[in-house]
């Protein structure tokens, strides 16, 4: 599982991964850029909706 951040029209994968345990996951990532980040979670071909 990876976390991606929207960069313009493209999705950028952040370094690091997380494992799912009983339907839950935890991943901490510090973003250095100021402003609004639009993240999503991707696992193989499965992609979550973006979080706004």
Q: What is the pTM of this model?
A: 0.65
| C-alpha–C-alpha distance, residues 27 and 40, integer Å | 12
Residue 45: the pLDDT is: 92
Q: pLDDT digit string (tens) for 13-51?
A: 888 767 777 877 776 667 777 777 888 888 889 998 887
Burial class (CB in 10 A: 0-12, 13-18, 19+), 3: buried
Instruction: Write out the two tokens for 33.
Output: 């850029």
For residues 31 and 9, which has the higher predicted lDDT (pLDDT)?
Answer: 9
């Amino acid at each position: 599982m990876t976390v991606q951040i929207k960069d313009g029209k493209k999705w950028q994968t952040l370094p690091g991964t997380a494992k799912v345990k009983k339907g839950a996951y935890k991943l901490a990532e510090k973003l250095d850029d100021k402003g609004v980040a639009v993240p999503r979670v991707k696992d193989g071909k499965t992609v979550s909706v973006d979080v706004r």
